[in-house]
Each structure stands twice: as C-alpha cells, then as structure tokens.
Chain A
Amino acid sequence: MQNYPEELQTPPVRLISLVGCPDLHPTISTHLLSDQPPIHTLAFPDLSKISFLLPPPSPKDSSESSLSSPPPGIFKRDWLLKHRTKVPAVVAALFPSHHVSGDPAQWLQLCSDLDHLKTVTRSRNIKLVVIIVHSDSKDDINEDRMIALRKRAEVDSKYVVFVNPNDASELMQSLHRLRSIFSELANTYYKDEGRKVKTRIEKRTYNCTELNIRYCFKAAVYAEFLSDWIEALRFYEDAYNKLWEISGIPSKALSIQRLVEIKTIAEQLHFKISTLLLHSGKVTEAVTWFRQHITLYSRLVGEPDAEFLHWEWMSRQFLVFAELLETSSATSLTIPSLGLGTGNKPLTEWEFYPAYYYQLAANYLKQKRSSFEFMLSMYVNVDELERTTESLVPSVYVGQYSRLLEQVDAMVMQTVTDKEFLNDTIAKEKKHQDPLKMITLLKKAYESYSQAKAQRTSSFCAFQVAKEHYAMDDLEDAKKHFDSVASLYRREGWATLLWDVLGYLRELSRKNGTVKDYLEYSLEMAALPISSDFHMLSLRSQDCCPVGPATLEQREKIHNEVFNLVHEKSVLASVEHGKELKVTGDNPVHLEIDLVSPLRSVLLASVAFHEQVIKPGMTTLITVSLLSHLPLTIELDQLEVQFNQPECNFIIMNAERLPSAMMDGDQHDNRVEQAPSLALSSNKWLRMTYQIKSDQSGKLECTSVIAKIRPNFTICCRAESPVSMDDLPLWKFEDHVETLPTKDPALAFSGLRSIQVEELDPEVDLTLNASTPALVGETFIVPVTVVSKGPDIHAGELKINLVDVRGGGLFSPREAEHIADSHHVELLGISCVEDGAKSHLISDEEMKIKQSFGLISVPFLKSGESWSCKLQIKWHRPKPIVLYVSLGYSPLSNEPNAQKINVHRSLQIDGKPAVTIGHHFLLPFRWDPLLLSRTKANPQSDQSLSLPLNETCILVISARNCTEVPLQLVSMSIEADNDGIEEKSCSIRTGSSNLVDPALLMPGEEFKKVFTVTSEINPSKLRLGNVLLRWKRYSRIKDQHDSSIASVLTTQKLPDVEIEFSPLIVCMESPPYAILGEPFTYFIKIKNQSKLLQEIKFSLADVQSFVISGSHDDTISILPKSEHILSYKLVPLASGMLQLPRFTLTSARYSASFQPSMAESTVFVFPSKPPCELAKDGDAGPETCGPISTGLS
C-alpha cells in the first residue's frame, strides 16, 4: 500500500485557487482546510503567474472523444494528481479596494488582469469569484464601478465578496461566506465535469473499451470529489468490469506489457473499491469482492517467462488487502456474522483476519521467488543482461514503461518490445531482491495469528519464518523459531510434523557445531513414534526437512549415526566452523533427562523399592527398570544408581563390557554389581532387582540413574516412581504393546522411588519427677534422670521446652509482650547432680537457655550408668504448663554427624499461688469519730475505706496458705510505696518485721499481723504501700540442702484509704469490770474538734441491771475545740455480762445520730470482789492503741 502514489491512497479533496493579495492567503486557506469536508487551496501571489500553472487544454484532449482508434494507454499517470494539485475548481481573484475605486490607470490594469484570468478559467470551465479587500469600512466604492466590475468579470453579484482584514468579526463573517461560496461553486464545477464525462459514457461516441474505462474512472473520481461514495463505487466497479472485458478473453493472447498494464489498473481500481467498501463498513462485501478479484485474475498468469510478475502481483494484492483490513478493523472491529457470503461460497472466519492475507501474500512471494529463480537459470549469462539493458522509466500511462531517449531539443519516450521490457524487469528485480521481505510478511502473519489465539497457524507461520532464516543461514533466529514450533508439536503429539522441525534443528546444530544439541535432536528423532507402515510419508517430498522423510528406516539410520558418533567410529563435519564434531575424552557429552524432557522416550528410568518402611541396617529390594523407544537395541556399559544418601549409591556393570569399563579407573567406593547384559531393546523394559541397605534413618530416595555408553557419553536420567510416572507424551497415543516396569504388577502401580528408614529403638530411661504443683514465685525444681540401659550414650543432648498447656505454641502470649516480663513461666537454670550428690550449676558454655527453651549436653554414659540434673523453673503467674524433655544421643560413636536416637518425655505442671493476703482496719475501742462521708454514704456505692485524721487505727494483715503443702513464713512487713516521692503522710508502726521463729503455716491456716496506722497530715488519699511476705516451703528434713532453698517474697499492694477530718469524737469510758453493788462512773466524752458550735442532743435509756444517776435527756452546746463530759454513776444490780445503759447521741448540725454497738456497751460484773489482784481503777481506762502482741490465731 505504501508503494501507491499518495493521490491514490487518500480520497480526493476539492481544490480552489487564490490569486492576488498574498497577505490574506494564509487566513483563507487555513479556514478552508478546517472545514468539513476540507478544501485545499492553491495560492498565487500574482495574476500573471496563473497562466503558467494552468495552461489551456491541449487541442488533442478535446478531440479525444472523436478518436475511434484505441488510445495508447488506459489511464494517464498524472491525471489524478493534476486534478488534486493543479486544476482548481474555483479561482478567486483578490483585489484591493483602492484598485477598484482608484485612478483610471489602476482600474484599467484590473480590467486587463480580469480578462486574462477569464480566458484561462473559461477554457476549463473553472468558476470565478471576485474578492475585494478593503482596509477600512468607510471605504465606499462607486456603485458604477461595482457594476462595471461585475460585468467585466461576468460574475453574479453574490460572487463578489468584500473582505475587511482589519475587523475581526467582519472578517470571520466574510470567511464563512467565502467558504459557502467556494463549496457551492466547487461542487458545481465537479458536478459539471462529472456530468460531461457521464454524457460521453452514455453517448458512446467512441468504440474502444479503454476510453470507456477511463471515463468511468474519471466519473468516479469526480463523484469522490463530491463525497458521493455510492456513485464513485458504482463507476469504479463499472471501470473494473469493463477492464475485465478486455483482459478476460482467454482466446486473446495478451502481450506481457499489456498484461502488466491491465493488472496495474485492475489493482488500482480494486484498491479504490476495497477502500470505499471498507470505509463504509461493508467488510463482508469487501472480502467477497477481493475473493472475486483474485479468482478472476489468478488465471491471468501470462507467458511462462513473465510468470514471476504474476506471482508478485498476486502477493501484492494480498498484502495490500491485508493492510487495508488491518487499518479498517483497527477502527471498527466488527467481524460480521458468518454465512453472509454468497450462498454456495460462504465466508470463513479467517477471511476476516489480516493474518490470512499476510500468510498468502508470503506464499505467493515464495512462488514468485522460485519462478524467478527458475527464470534466471534459463538465462545463459545474467550479468551480460544486466549490463546491456538500459533502464526503462514509467511512461505517461499507468502501467506502461518506455525508454527515455535524449534528443536534440527534448526527451522522447520510446515504446519498447516485450523482450526488452522483460530483460529490464529481470535486471531490476535481480538488483532489488529483498530476502527479508518474505520473513516480514510471515512474521506479520505470525503475530496477527498469535493475537487471534490461533496458535497452530501462528506456529506454522513461525515454522516458515524459521525455514527462511535457515535458508539464509541465520541460524540463531531459525533455532529460536524452530524450538517454539517443536514444543507445540510435542505437546499435541504430531510426530510427523515434529520430525520435520527436529530435522531442521538437528541440521542446524550440526552447522553450529554443537555436538550435544545434535545428539539430543537426533535421539529425539530416533525415538519418535513413527512406524514403517506409516506409509503415507514414504514419498519423497520437496519440502521435507534435511534429514529426509519420516520413516522407520530413517529412524534407524539416525540411530546408527548417533551411536557411531558415540562409539567414536565416525566424526561429523560441521559446516559452520569447518571442524569435525566428535565425542572424545576432550569433548565428553552428558545428557540430562528430567521429568519434562522430550528425551524421556529415549531413556526412561523407573525405580521402585519393594517395601515402604525399613529399619536401619535391614536390607530390602529395589527394582531399577529402563525403557527406551529407540528403534534399535542399545548396549549400556554401566549404570550408576544414585540416592540422596550417597553411601547407598551403587554401580551396575555390564559383564560383557567389564574389561573395557574397568579401564576407566574412575571407580568409586560404591558397591559394584554385575549384570549379565545391559542391552536395551526397543519398547521393552530392562528390569534389574538388587538388595539395598541403609544405616541412616530418614528418607532414602533414588534421585537419578546414570547410563554410561562408552567413556565419554553419559545420560543422566531422573528416577521416577512407577506410581506417579507420566505417560510419554508422544507414545501414549500409539497403539503399541505396553508392559509394566516391574514384574510385580502391584509394585508397578504403587511402587515408590523413596523409602522411609526408621530410627533405632531407644534403650534409655528418661524420667521427670514433679510430685507437687509449683508455687508462684518460687524456684521450682524438676529432677531429670537419664539411665542408660543398653548401649553407651555418646554426644547426648537434652532439649527442654516449656509449652502452654492449652497448646498454641510457646506460652509467651504475644498480646502480653508489652509487659516487661512477658514470660509467665521461665526456665531459670539447670543444675547438675554429680556422683557424690554434690550439685553445681552448669556453666553457660554447657547449656543454652532461653526463657522457654533449654539445651544441655549430657556426658558420656556407659551402659547402666545414670545422670541427672535439676531444672529450675519459676512461675511469675499461676499457669499450667507442659514440660517437654527430649534426649537425643548417638549409640555408636562420638562423631557429630552420626545417627541420632531421640527419646521424648513430657510432664504437665500446674503453677499455683502460695498464699492469699487479706487485710482489715480497726478503730480504738469505744472511740468513735464522726466521719461525715459515712453518714452520707450511699450503702450501694462502693466507696473506699476512710480513716479519721490524726487518729491511730489498727491494720490487721492476714496471710492464708492456699496450697497443699506446709509453708514457713519468714517475715511480713509493709513497705511504703513510691519511696521518697511523697512525703510521709502516715506512720505505720509494727513490732519486728522478722519473725523470731519462722511461723509454720499448715495448708488452709491463716497468719495475722497487726499494724497501727496514724495519719499525720491530710491528704485526700493515703497510700499504704505493699505487704511484703517472705516464705519458703517447709521441709521436715532439716538438712543442708533444704536450708539452701531461698525464701520467696510475695508482694501485694494495699488499697488506698481516704483520710477524713472528724468534727466530733465520742469516747466512752467505763472500768473494765464492776462488782455487784459497788458504784462506778461511766463517762461519755464528746469532743468538738470543729471550729463551730455544736448542738448535741442525747438520751440515755434505763436498764434493769443498773441504778443510774445523771441526766437522762438533754440538749447541750459544745464550744469549738472543747470537750463536754457526761458522767453517770452506776450501781450494778446483777452480776455477769451486763448491758450498760445505752445512750443515743444526735448532732443537729450534721443530722447524724450515734449509738454505741452492743460490744462497746457491755461490762462484766463480778458478784464479789475477785480474790486476785486487779488493775487499779485508773489503769483500766479506755483501751489505748499501743502495740498489740502478735500471734497466731
């Protein structure tokens, strides 16, 4: 398509011409070009120039219609170009206004210019427009002059346009107007011209078809100018059909040149028709038309000498149509539904793909090449031909060539004979041969088919590309394409096609000089499933690969070639490097065959163990089976069977070849077996069964089988299990006898190439002891004992693991990682017990400990000896865990990589808290401060405890043993919180922090200790600090070892208390006891600590046991910071535990009332004075808050 002239490729565009006033030309032409459809502009600065470009039509042209003899050609070459670039439809003459309205000289000049212009345009029927350019709107032109101008120019008044370039809006208006005028006039012009041509066609004033074709073509072009595509198509088709009339008469032998001309014109007409059809979206019609075009013209081959011209032409047709289809389908991707073609010739999908046409274009190009080469071979001396012929040039008519002769005054075109023409064409063709053109076409087809996901056809194209590269000795590109094609044929099992590709690849590698590739391709070819009765390809084919047709004989021949090379009986001549290819010691060949290699059909190794599990040291059987699809029997020298445990490898020697094989000298330490024969015949399993033994536990797997044929040729074949062995991709479709790789059919379906070797039974006792649950905080000891019962223990290693009992891995919960000690349970250390029961902590080198993991080496133990150690585990929080201990050891030797035996034990241990600590506060006896917060307190509200300010309170701390073992308490104390940060807000006093004799706390028992608390200043909250309790497990055996157990410190924080100022304090004083009938005094002291006057109401109830003197009922006022004392004299009337008269006290200010508790208002009355010495009356005052003795309760 790119070779076509520009005017043919694009639709014609209307042309107008501007003359004079060159400043305005760019404005007008840009405006016209932007129009839709656009108008091209031809601009002349000066009126005088126009006659050069538009010469009056030659008289010969006008007389053309009257000619009855056929014209020398069908189309003139430059006609289309002329109408597109030279002959305008409209000429617009631009005059400045002052020329019109100026002095007579200017006017006269204008008139003569106009006359000149008129003579030029009228002869060609070109329309004329006059444009008057006025620079100022005020310019007024004389009306008479205007009429005179119109008359002179012979134009209608509407074709005289005023343009003012200085006024933008006015200019725009004028441009619009100009555009419509130009468009109208141009249409009229082309319509007129078209009508003229059509009249000629209708009148048929001539009797030659050539002119008819020419007129039809012209009419179509004029219709195209008018964008009348349907009419254009009709006339093009007319022209095409008429052309066929002159060319399609078979009886009429056409000369070579005539045929070339006709085909060139047919090509142009067809191109126009296809373009018009495709642009209007009629893809089906275009394809049908193309098919018809090809059917018609494919018959016009012409003379045998010029046949190559025909093939070239055909190739070009396909190429151009492919390009057209590609560009149009890029814009409108609508492949119409099928079946739209003519009834008996339906269209197929591929006829809508450009790829199809590219492929055929390449095919015709190939045909052209072969026919051209044949042609050349007919010529005796081609070089002579090249020298003698002078170059021909295209003549004035499309598709014609002539010789250019230089004469005295001008160049003269001279017609040439067919012979001369042909010689010239051959010479040119020879000069411009492009070997890559075909590859380009095929590659386009390849890419296009690949896009359409037609992989097989694209592969076929790739194959052709590769063959072209191969022919050009471009081996690298050829190999790349051949390889991709071969993989498809391998996958789909097209053996004959694969044979062809491999034949090329084999030859390629021979040329390249790569012995390995050569052997691989040869072996693959020899193992292809092609049998002798596949007779259809026995015919010798031209296209066949370098190796020859695919037959059994050829396979055998290739087989022999390969093994001759391997046996060093022959060498291979490399074309590329001029050296010989051979398999020698300097150049050994090693082939790898894996599970996906195409060479699996050459050698397939199946390995099956007869058992699935064995004990170490036991022997089992292994069957190694080999299969080859090579056509002839091959003899192996030796086989090496390799395992993942190298000490199990063994070699099978061919007994017949033994002496020669032994000469290799590369014998390993491996076992060597002998086989009577290692002959591998076609499609027959060679089965060999041997004993095998492994001392190492784990997986024993056969990895590969290496076949050695002569010292320098080895094939390494991956071992495959019979159970999972895939069929050979090519042979699985073959109708051949299939045999099993092993004699035992069950093994053939279930055999594995790997076996599990078990571990030896451990002969060692590993015990873990932990009788009681662990206590939080203590260092819990777990003794571990290792006793050897059987063989010695070498290189023993003890692994310790602490695991959360709920599973889920290690017990350092990830969510708690932000806490400092994320491990709730921790392995602290391991202490070892030596023979003399002397324990020592093992040094860091001997053990590695992480928080939940430990590793310790066990010393060498003889049979019967034991070794033990103690694990120290600490619980930070109560949690059950599982302790895993595993002992790995080697029973035989001390080597680091020796076989290990593992013994595992596990023990679940609960971690529990040892003690629970409680506390409560007490106020002094018969001493009741008014705490306002208590009176207001909502009973439901969870208010913290409050204490009165400046008073001494008693704090009782209790510790309960909640374990199942007796504990020994060492000390209990309270430690202030936030040492130093807060100034001392209270004083806590106690006896001694350490107990003189550590208290024994049996399970469930409670220990109490009393502290006094006095708040000194008034903080809102009082921090009491932490209770520190030091304890240890109680052991009856008081030995040295036991005392070494460190005591454990348990800490518990005491809650904060509120400190409150109490405005009133009620204090009752009575003697500790009374004696029947003896009076005593009962004081009630009310202390006002506030700065306010307090009104207190009180009452005292009578009781039968006492006679009372004093006021029963009153309201008193107590001054600030003073004390009021109520005193009563009481005489007991009965003895025993008696209730004192109860009194009630009410504070008006705080609306709080108070009544002492029963315990507070009780006194014991003796019947008579007791005989023992009692404390004096005064000492028995109110109970003071001194240190209270501690003790167990």
Chain B
Amino acid sequence: MIVCVAVVGHQNNPLYIQSFTEADDALKLHHIVHCSLDVVDERVNNPRKSGPTLNETFLGLLYPTENYKVYGYLTNTKVKFIMVTTDLDVRDADVRSFFRRFHAAYVDAVSNPFHVPEQKLQYQVKAIDDCSLQTIVDYCHLSCILDGI
C-alpha cells in the first residue's frame, strides 16, 4: 500500500507531504522522501544512464529501502512527485498511471487562483483532493487506488 506521497518544489523544498500510516514512522518517511531527491538529481543530471526514460516524466523506481519502495516523477516545471509504497511487487504501469492521475490532481490544485506559485499546497490539496487521497489510504492495492483517485 502507498504509505507516503510528496510533492517537492524545484528548489527541493517540500510543497506537500502526506503519509498514510497508522504507525509512528512519519518522520522516517520524511527522511526517505528527502533522500530520494538525491536519486532524482542523479537521474536528471545523468540522463544517459536511464536510457529509455530519457525525456520521460516518470523516473521509475528510485531506490529500495528495507521495507519500502520509492518511485519518482518529474514534471516539466521541475516539480517532483515522490511516492513511497510497501508493496514489494508493483507493476511499473500501475505506478505510471498513479502518477499521471496524481499529476492531474496537482494541476487542479495549483490552478486555484488563490494559490501562489512555489508555495506549499496543503490547503489547496486538502480542498480539492481530500477525498481522492483518502481513498489511497483506504485501499491497500495500487490498482484500487488508481480507480479511486
């Protein structure tokens, strides 16, 4: 199941970070999201290595920690989406699809006329996206999440 979703601005500052665990590892997830930015940087700076993922927004699996898998997504405006999941067997296509929907939700959120670009998103996302993100918490399976979002 997805345990954490984060939006990170182009100065690597957190814009939105939400975890869905009952356990007390929220801080740990913050660290995981922050460390995964190193991998995003490396992928962006050395696109040669990523081969087929060149020019693609989906960055794929960033790195496996002991219990989590971290996926990344980079928009054209250099805003990064990070997703942490505990599922060990995830299909790339599912993650891609998740990110695409999440991107759409983000675009909706920042289209809010009261939103100042490059500022935190908490209120907007809450207003627009609360129910859809809550769905993620409720469903453990990624495919179910994608239906819900």
* A interface residues (Cβ-Cβ under 8 A, vs B): 335, 337-339, 344, 346, 348-351, 356, 360, 363, 449, 453-457, 460, 463, 492-497, 500, 533-534, 536-537, 539-544, 732-735
Contacts and interface: CB of A to CB of B under 8 A. Distances in A.
A543 B28 contact: yes
A735 B34 contact: no
Contact of A338 (B30, B49, B119): B49
A337 B49 contact: yes
B13 A733 contact: yes
A493 B38 contact: no
Nearest to A461: B35
Contact of B66 (A348, A363, A449): A363
Majority DSSP secondary structure for residues of B touching A: mixed
A98 B120 CA distance: 98
A349 B64 CA distance: 10
Contacts of B28: 543
Interface in B6-44: 9, 11-15, 17-19, 24-28, 30-31, 34-35, 37-39, 41-43
7 contacts: A351-B63, A539-B26, A541-B27, A543-B28, A544-B27, A735-B121, A735-B123
A460 B39 CA distance: 14
A338 B53 CA distance: 11
A735 B120 contact: yes
Contact of A456 (B19, B34, B64, B89): B34
A497 B30 CA distance: 7
Contacts of B38: 449, 454-457
B25 to A, nearest CB: 7
Given A536-B17, A536-B18, A734-B120, A360 B66 contact: yes
Given A456-B37, A539-B24, A735 B30 contact: no
The 5 closest A-B pairs by CB, nearest first: A493-B13, A454-B38, A541-B24, A457-B35, A348-B63
B42 A349 contact: yes
Given A344-B89, A733-B119, A733-B120, A540 B24 contact: yes
B111 interface: no
Contacts of B12: 492
Given A454-B38, A733-B119, 8 more contacts: A337-B49, A338-B49, A344-B89, A363-B66, A497-B31, A536-B18, A733-B120, A735-B120
B50 interface: yes
A337 B51 contact: yes
Contacts of A453: 42
A463 B31 CA distance: 10
Nearest to B46: A349
Given A349-B39, A539-B26, A339 B52 contact: yes
Nearest to A346: B61
A543 B30 CA distance: 12
A537 B42 contact: no
B125 to A, nearest CB: 11
Contacts of B119: 732-735
Nearest to A730: B13
A500 B18 CA distance: 18
Given A460-B35, A541-B26, A733 B118 contact: yes
B47 to A, nearest CB: 11
Contacts of B34: 456, 460, 492, 494, 497
A396 to B, nearest CB: 36
B46 to A, nearest CB: 9
Contacts of B63: 348-351, 356
Given A493-B11, A494-B34, A348 B17 contact: no
Contacts of A455: 38
A436 to B, nearest CB: 23
Contacts of B27: 496-497, 500, 537, 541, 543-544
B14 to A, nearest CB: 6
A533 B9 contact: no
B62 interface: yes
B30 A494 contact: yes
A460 B31 contact: yes
Given A348-B39, A735-B116, A537 B14 contact: no
B39 A496 contact: no
A493 B14 contact: yes
Nearest to A529: B120
A541 B25 contact: yes
A322 to B, nearest CB: 15
Interface of B: 9, 11-15, 17-19, 24-28, 30-31, 34-35, 37-39, 41-43, 49-52, 60-64, 66, 89, 91, 115-116, 118-123
B17 A338 contact: no
Contacts of B118: 733
A356 B13 CA distance: 24
B122 A735 contact: yes
A338 B122 contact: no
A363 B31 CA distance: 14
Nearest to B126: A533
Contact of B61 (A348, A540, A541, A733): A348
A733 B51 CA distance: 34
B90 to A, nearest CB: 9
A536 B37 contact: no
Nearest to A348: B63
Contacts of A457: 35, 38
B64 to A, nearest CB: 7
A691 B48 CA distance: 64
Contacts of B11: 492-493
B120 A350 contact: no
Contacts of B14: 493-495, 733
B56 to A, nearest CB: 13
Contacts of A348: 39, 61-64
Contacts of A735: 115-116, 119-123
A453 B30 CA distance: 20
- The listed residue with most A CB atoms (<10 A of its CB), out of B11, B31, B115, is B31
Nearest to A540: B24
Contact of B26 (A346, A350, A537): A537
Nearest to B70: A348
Contacts of A494: 13-14, 30, 34
A339 B25 CA distance: 31
Contact of A339 (B24, B30, B51, B120): B51
A360 B37 CA distance: 18
A720 B119 CA distance: 24
A596 to B, nearest CB: 17
A189 to B, nearest CB: 46
A733 B15 contact: yes
Contacts of B41: 454
Contact of B50 (A338, A356, A363): A338
Nearest to B4: A536
A16 B122 CA distance: 75
A360 B18 CA distance: 25
A790 to B, nearest CB: 58
A454 B37 CA distance: 9
A497 B43 CA distance: 24
Contacts of A493: 11, 13-14
- The listed residue with most A CB atoms (<10 A of its CB), out of B18, B34, B61, B121, is B34
A335 B66 CA distance: 22
A544 B24 CA distance: 9
Contacts of A449: 38
Nearest to B19: A536
Contacts of A543: 24-25, 27-28
A534 B9 contact: no
Contacts of B25: 541, 543
Contacts of B89: 344
Contacts of B120: 733-735
B9 A733 contact: yes
A457 B50 CA distance: 20
Contacts of A544: 27
B53 to A, nearest CB: 9
A338 B118 CA distance: 33
A25 to B, nearest CB: 55
Contacts of B26: 536-537, 539, 541
